Amino acid sequence: MSNLPLLGVNIDHVATLRNARGVDYPCPIQVALLCEQAGADGITLHLREDRRHIKDADVYAMKDRLATRMNLEMAVTEEMLAIALDVQPTWVCLVPEKRQEVTTEGGLDVANLRRLPEFIQALQEKNILVSLFIDPEFHQIDTAIACGADAIELHTGAYAEAGLSGNMQLVSDELSRIKQAVRYAKEQSDTLLVNAGHGLTRENVSSIACIEGIHELNIGHSLIADAIFMGIGQAVKEMKTAFASKPIDIR
Ligand code: PXP
């Protein structure tokens, strides 16, 4: 049980609900605090370029209220760099961003971002730890390590989608891709933390949570959806319980 990963709760969709009516409820900060009380190990929030859910004011207000740590997801832009340097969250997770996408569709192509090392360095100089959201591919891991990242977060979206399609061969293939990536990352670096996230649910999470070497899972959409039925505190607790449930039976 003690080897299970930490849970970072992504609270973006609380802000999505609030913004749908342009009112000030439900309050993402209040929800974040309830998540922490229920056992969340960190709070993740994505300040998108289009501010479709989290707003600048949420980031600033949350910074001083969290008892755990803030993981600020953001694109590699000068605007976001300035905000992160000002807010100084514990972690920044760099993600790719396309305006038209519904959610973060793929990992960051770190191998083709020439300014990444200096971008990471600027954050680290302010004692901000940096994670890179990447697809589970060896060359992306190599580049993330070469750039000096403190952590990688492996994109589990393809694994989650394979499950939704019901194609168990694909689920198995995507799961082994993630397992190999975790093993490879741990072999290449003693210090790099390996996180994962995207599309994880109480049903599909255990096969990822039981992979040796995974440090933290970041989970948002399904957990906030669960909260409609069971309340946010219970949703956090049940997600943590699901980490330890029996993994999907695939060979
Ligand atoms: N990790 C990263 C880097 C993300 O961009 C997201 C989605 O915003 C998540 C985790 C959480 O994904 P989901 O909402 O599908 O659980």
Q: Digits of tens for pLDDT over the chain (251 positions)?
A: 458 999 999 999 999 999 999 999 999 999 999 999 999 999 999 999 999 999 999 999 999 999 999 999 999 999 999 999 999 999 999 999 876 677 767 889 987 888 899 999 999 999 999 999 999 999 999 999 999 999 999 999 999 999 999 999 999 999 999 999 999 999 999 999 999 999 999 999 999 999 999 999 999 999 999 999 999 999 999 999 999 998 876 65
Task: Please give the DSSP secondary-structure letter assigned to residue 154.
Answer: E
- Beta strands 129-134 and 91-94 are parallel
Marked catalytic residue, from 13, 36, 53, 73: 73
160 C-beta closer than 6 A to ligand 1? no
pTM above 0.85, yes or no: yes
Marked catalytic residue, from 13, 46, 53, 215: 46
238 in active site: no
198 in active site: yes
